[in-house]
Structure 1
Amino acid sequence: MSEALLLACPHCLSMNRIQRARLDDAPSCGKCKQPLFTKTPADLTAANYDAIVNRSELPVVVDFGASWCGPCKMMAPIFAQAASELEPRMRFAKLDTESEQALAGRFGIRSIPTLIIFRNGQEVARQAGAMQGSQLKSWLAPHLLVT
């Protein structure tokens, strides 16, 4: 694996090449100058899915859920906390299965919340159901990018 990573800006979706050693230096997008890491989950849609998940070389964990789902509501602050602690070693994104039914269907989402970890656009791990913070971090640990 090279020393540089290609990743999408969560704001303008421009692709940026960032040296692994500089990930913790709060890098900004070369095009829009916004931070590449916001320490919060990005909202994933059909419009930005390809750039954020498929074209980025950083591992991405996607929380598939819905606003009406009780377990999803319980999981939301836990997922947000993990994002604040673990970015930039992994990108965090949320996908609303109600507004993005085709995208959710593409991954065979049968229950929510479901978390899927992608690496280079390929699914590498899946977990259905809400988790506590310690469980989530343990599940994510083997997939975090080593800098």
Structure 2
Amino acid sequence: MKTVYIPEAPARAEIDTMPGATLLEFGANWCGHCMAAQAPLAQAMAGHDGVVHYKVEDGPGRALGRSYGVKLWPTLIFLRDGQEVARVVRPLDTADIAAGLTQIDH
């Protein structure tokens, strides 16, 4: 599991063609909601070592977040073979995150 939001993000075209299970997490390192989601996220990610996790710094002018319609942080987007399968916004519960991971990580 990644622990820091990074400004560099893959291009949308690259994500759309990624094979397997991918989790896109949009947020900011200073965001209180994002910090609160980290413990449940860590618990839910345990045992899902095959999921590729991108922790993407989001904000004005960030094309990837806009392409997914991200409005609130953190937003978790669960992808299987480049296609969105589930989305969780401002998760505080491990179960919500685990449900999304289960849908993409068979």
Residues 74, 89 of structure 2: 8 Å contact kept: yes
TM-score, length-scaled by structure 1: 0.58
Larger RCO of the pair (alpha carbons < 8 Å, separation 6+): 2
- Residues 134 and 46 (structure 1), Cα distance of their counterparts in 2 relative to 1, 3 Å cut: closer
Q: Does 1:45 align with 2:8?
A: yes
Aligned length: 104
Point out the structure with max Rg over C-alpha.
1
Q: Output the amino acid matched with 1:57.
A: P
How do 1:1-147 residues align onto structure 2 when only pairs under 5 Å count?
40-41=1-2, 45-47=8-10, 50-51=13-14, 53-88=15-50, 90-98=51-59, 101-145=62-106
- Structure 1 position 99, deviation (Å): 8.1
Deviations 1:55-86 (A, max 9, x none): 33111111111122111011123323433421
- Given that 1:58 and 1:119 are in contact with CA atoms closer than 8 Å, whether structure 2 keeps it comes out as yes
Residue segments in structure 2 that go unaligned for 5+ positions in a row: none
Structure 1, unpaired ranges of 5+: 1-39
Percent identity reads: 26
